[in-house]
Amino acid sequence: MAPSEIADVIIDFSTTEATESILKNDAPYPYPTGAKVNHLNKVVMKFIINPGKPYPQDISTVPPVLKVYPQAIAPRGAVKRFWIMKTMP
């Protein structure tokens, strides 16, 4: 995702026995050549997991058609392309 993009994410913790889960950051800031993560920017979010049935009941669905946005800048105008995705084992 790029800066200012939005994503809706649904995480299903229904099969876990854990009572909490912590989402952590390991990317330098600014990426990719910035400072290493520290105690201030390492932890992104903490999920508190309550066992049992979800409340309220999750009725979310993925729509059959997603919104298509017009392309603002043609790729041919780009000087360089960078792929910053990293596969984790």
Q: Per the domain annotation, does 82 fall within a domain?
A: no
Q: Per the domain annotation, does 28 fall within a domain?
A: yes
What's the total number of domains in the chain? 1
- Structural domain for 22, as ranges: 1-52
Q: Per the domain annotation, does 75 fall within a domain?
A: no
Q: pTM for the full model?
A: 0.50
| 55 pLDDT above the threshold of 70 | no
Q: Per the domain annotation, does 74 fall within a domain?
A: no
- Which of 17-21, 30-34, 60-64, 83-87 has the largest mean confidence? 17-21
Kindly provide the residue ranges of all beta strands, DSSP E only, lying in 1-89, ordered along the sequence.
Answer: 20-24, 43-48
**For the purposes of burial, counting CB atoms within 10 Å of the CB of 37, is it exposed (0-12), middle (13-18) or buried (19 or more)?**
middle
